[in-house]
Amino acid sequence: MRTYRKTMCILMCLTCTLISAEVSRARVYIDIEAPELQPLPIAIAPLRDIGSSRPDLDRKIMDILANDLTISGFFEIIPRHEFPPESEALADPPDYGRWSTSRAEALVIGGYASRGEQLAIEFRLFDLVEKAFLIGKRYEGSTKSLRDMVHRMSNEITYWITGEKGVFDTKIAFVSTMPGNKEIYVVDFDGHDLRQITRNGSINLSPAWSPDGRLIAFTSYIKRNPDLYLFDLTRSVQIQLSTNPGLNAAPAWSPDGSRMALMMRKEGNSEIFIMNRDGTRPKRVTKSWSSEASPTWSPDGRKIAFVSDRAGSPQVYTTNVNGGNVKRLTYFGSYNACPSWSPKGDKIAYCGRMDGRFEILTVNPDGTDVRRLTESSGNNESPIWSPDGRYIAFSSTREGRSRIYVMNANGANQRRLTSTQGKESSPTWSPRMDR
Amino acid sequence: MAKKWFVVLGVIISLMVVVSCAKKAVKEEPVVTGKAGEQAWGKPGEGAERAGVEEKSLQASLERKKYPGIEGEFLESSLLKDIQFGFDRYDLTPKAREILAQNAELLLKNPRAKIQVEGHCDERGTVEYNLALGERRANSTRQYLISLGVSGDRMSTISYGEEMPLDPSHNEEAWGKNRRAHFIILSR
């Protein structure tokens, strides 16, 4: 009877998933904007094997989930020895009273089933303080997509605790010298599934992921000119896009994906241009005798931040896309570069030289509220925001050779993303894949 | 006027001797394919003896090369010397102007040679800003050669930013060498 009730309960939760999502709205348990964020203590019950011959999957799923929630910076995983000893504590629904002495404020109870190559994972999230059921979901797919399924689960849990979905389904592309030359690689947000993308043997620079997730724009010297190429991720082919003599560099997709800002040569120096996504109709944005570099779009598509040395040293400026209303943004220090406009529009991250080393900083688009996010022994460069604006990826030489790191947008929780045998640089973030 | 030319010629010949001696002592950059300097570069000069010396030196100075991952081969001459730049600078130092004057002489005597001026940077600073800086270095170099009479049609420019250091070390000496304009011969 009890088993039957349990099964019913699980079935109910599956069917009720959408309904419950409609009825109860996500409550923000932790304010991720707070300068000193207190991670939410969360317990993950051992998964139930609800019909499979794969006991090994338990560990696998748990590890991915716990790692996701930990690296998010928003959760503290409560170790199992701190769980209440009574089995009722992990019943579904849990006996909330048993948790009253625990630090855990949320509990995940889940299960999985597999048959052949088919896998189903489900979970239910409980608020142990308010003694409430929050959400339950079930994911089905091939065992090959196990990581994706768990990342979606992490996204959902993050949504219910922080008010916005996680970015565990996103990927980061970057340049690595692993093969001896600079090629482009892609890795998951959690550092898994490293893949080499380009294999042209040339010098490949400044990858930029398209807003639809299907293309990576980059500069390559294949034809003895820094030309612009697209790599089509769905077909695994490289397409030549812009080959004007001189620079076709530092591509930046407009937020709607219809246009691209880039560096191009004009009158012997580099200027910011905007062209259509097919490489046609390049239009000049900046007009100066100095060097312009590294364009980045505001999320409303109306402005561009860029680097210029028009005042004698590289500094960050903003301009309207038609070239009007140019404003200098950075004043402190003699070398400020690599701007990246946040997807919410409220911040511009950049790298600035301080005491001979580059650090990552943020500034408001009006030039106020400069904040320093890194303080390390190496150079920190090329910040790029996650699509939710909660994280920044960047390159750093803090551990010797340059590698990619990820931190929370307030500078907390800095972690190395991956480790290729080579120098890593120029990260770019994919859009959400789970849409 | 004739005297001036004679002086210039003297400088060039002694330079060639120095360079070719130095080259022999150093021995040897990888030559990918083909025989280096199989043809005389440009037309011989008016005096038979001078032409002989120059032709021989130029031939000896030419090396066929290829950059990995970049289509096509090119020639490099040890007689077309690099110039160096200050940190974050693209203006030409007096020394750079001197070298460019010598390079211009060679180019004027070999009017068919098409060259490419490469702008390079040291590793400090961002990849993208260094692309812009390399562009300016190549351009200021080309402009100066034009002012010395070398036709702009013969000279293309390219910026490699910080992507092709001569010396991969991380110190002032290496950085000084890496901030340069370099010349390659695309056709002759």
- For A138, other C-beta atoms within 10 Å of its C-beta total 21
Chain B residue numbers touching A201 (CB-CB < 8 A)? 68-69
pLDDT band at B22 (very low <50, low <70, confident <90, very high): very low
* CA distance linking residue B172 with residue B157, whole number of Å: 26
* CA distance linking residue A246 with residue A269, whole number of Å: 9
- For A432, other C-beta atoms within 10 Å of its C-beta total 17
In the numeric block, the tokens 């000496």 are attached to: B173
* CA distance linking residue A29 with residue A113, whole number of Å: 31
- DSSP code, position B154: G
pLDDT at residue A419 in the model: 85
What average pLDDT does the segment B47-60 reach?
54
Whether B54 shows a pLDDT value over 60: the answer reads: no
* CA distance linking residue B158 with residue B134, whole number of Å: 8
By C-alpha distance, which of A188, A158, A157, A159 is closest to A174?
A188
A221 Cα to chain B: minimum distance (Å): 6
Among the listed ranges A90-94, B118-122, B124-128, which one has the minimum average pLDDT value? Answer: A90-94
- Nearest CB among B71, B88, B126 relative to A294 is that of B126
Question: Do residues A204 and A220 make contact, with C-beta atoms less than 8 angstroms apart?
Answer: yes
* CA distance linking residue A312 with residue B124, whole number of Å: 17
Q: Residue A65, SS3?
A: helix
Q: Residue A66, SS3?
A: helix
pLDDT band at A146 (very low <50, low <70, confident <90, very high): very high
What average pLDDT does the segment A339-368 reach?
96
Name A58's Cβ contacts closer than 8 Å, sequence gap at least 6.
A46, A47, A49, A112
Q: Where are the domains of chain B?
A: 2-187
* CA distance linking residue A252 with residue A261, whole number of Å: 5
Per CATH, the homologous superfamily of domain A171-429 is TolB, C-terminal domain (2.120.10.30)
Chain A residues contacting B via beta carbons under 8 Å: 180-182, 200-203, 205-206, 221-226, 245-247, 249-250, 263, 265, 268-270, 291-294, 307, 309, 313-314, 335, 337-338, 351, 381-382, 425-426
B25 or A212: which leads in pLDDT = A212
Chain B, window 144-183: residues with a beta carbon less than 8 angstroms from a chain A beta carbon: 156-161, 163-164
Chain B, window 116-135: residues with a beta carbon less than 8 angstroms from a chain A beta carbon: 116, 125-129, 131-133, 135
pLDDT at residue A380 in the model: 97
What average pLDDT does the segment A19-38 reach?
61
Name B92's Cβ contacts closer than 8 Å, sequence gap at least 6.
B83, B100, B140, B141, B144
When the candidates are 3.30.70.1520, 3.40.50.12780, 2.60.120.20, 3.30.1330.60, the CATH number that belongs to B2-187 is 3.30.1330.60
Q: Answer yes or no: do B127 and A206 touch at CB < 8 A.
A: yes
Question: Do residues A165 and A157 make contact, with C-beta atoms less than 8 angstroms apart?
Answer: no
Quote the percentage of chain A above a pLDDT of 90: 83
pLDDT at residue A229 in the model: 98
Q: Answer yes or no: do B129 and A206 touch at CB < 8 A.
A: no
Whether B26 shows a pLDDT value over 90: the answer reads: no
Whether A170 shows a pLDDT value over 50: the answer reads: yes
* CA distance linking residue B136 with residue A218, whole number of Å: 22
Name A18's Cβ contacts closer than 8 Å, sequence gap at least 6.
none
Distance of CA A27 to the CA centre of its chain: 23
Give the A:B interface size as CB pairs under 8 Å. Answer: 112
Closest-CA residue of A relative to B130 is A293
What average pLDDT does the segment A32-52 reach?
85
Whether B68 shows a pLDDT value over 70: the answer reads: yes
* CA distance linking residue A233 with residue B185, whole number of Å: 37
DSSP string computed for A227-261: EEEEEETTTTEEEEEE--SS-EEEEEE-TTSSEEE
Fold type of domain A2-162: Rossmann fold (3.40.50)
* CA distance linking residue A220 with residue A245, whole number of Å: 13
Chain A residue numbers touching B133 (CB-CB < 8 A)? 291
In the numeric block, the tokens 């036709």 are attached to: B151
Q: Answer yes or no: do B128 and A314 touch at CB < 8 A.
A: no
Question: Do residues A321 and A304 make contact, with C-beta atoms less than 8 angstroms apart?
Answer: yes
* CA distance linking residue A108 with residue A19, whole number of Å: 19
Among the listed ranges A38-42, A368-372, B55-59, which one has the minimum average pLDDT value? Answer: B55-59
- C-alpha pair distances (Å), A324 with each of A252, A318, B97: 19, 9, 38
- Give the type of residue at A395: S
Let me know if A73 is exposed, middle or buried by CB neighbors in 10 A (0-12, 13-18, 19+).
buried
Q: Please state the pTM of the whole predicted model.
A: 0.86
Q: Where are the domains of chain A?
A: 2-162, 171-429
What average pLDDT does the segment B172-187 reach?
97
* CA distance linking residue B147 with residue B166, whole number of Å: 28
* CA distance linking residue B44 with residue B56, whole number of Å: 10
Whether A127 shows a pLDDT value over 70: the answer reads: yes
Domains A2-162 and A171-429 share a fold: no
What token pair was written down for A275? Answer: 């062209």
In the numeric block, the tokens 């930013």 are attached to: B161
* CA distance linking residue A416 with residue A397, whole number of Å: 11
CA-based diameter of chain A, in Å? Answer: 82
Whether B36 shows a pLDDT value over 70: the answer reads: no
Q: Answer yes or no: do A269 and B136 touch at CB < 8 A.
A: yes
By C-alpha distance, which of A393, A390, A403, A376 is closest to A429?
A393
Q: Answer yes or no: do B139 and A268 touch at CB < 8 A.
A: yes
Residues facing A304 on adjacent strands: A297, A319
Q: Residue A162, SS3?
A: helix
Whether A56 shows a pLDDT value over 90: the answer reads: no
What token pair was written down for A400? Answer: 């010797």
**A343 cis-preceded (ω within 30 degrees of 0):** no
Whether A17 shows a pLDDT value over 60: the answer reads: no
- DSSP code, position B148: T
- For A359, other C-beta atoms within 10 Å of its C-beta total 23
A13 or B182: which leads in pLDDT = B182
- C-alpha pair distances (Å), A423 with each of A176, A221, A397, A420, B107: 5, 19, 9, 8, 39
Let me know if A289 is exposed, middle or buried by CB neighbors in 10 A (0-12, 13-18, 19+).
exposed
Whether A330 shows a pLDDT value over 60: the answer reads: yes
Whether B79 shows a pLDDT value over 80: the answer reads: yes
Read off the pLDDT of residues A410-419 as tens digits, 9 standing for 90 and up.
999 999 999 8
Name A235's Cβ contacts closer than 8 Å, sequence gap at least 6.
none
What token pair was written down for A412? Answer: 């907390």
B28 Cα to chain A: minimum distance (Å): 22
CA-based diameter of chain B, in Å? Answer: 52
Closest-CA residue of B relative to A295 is B128
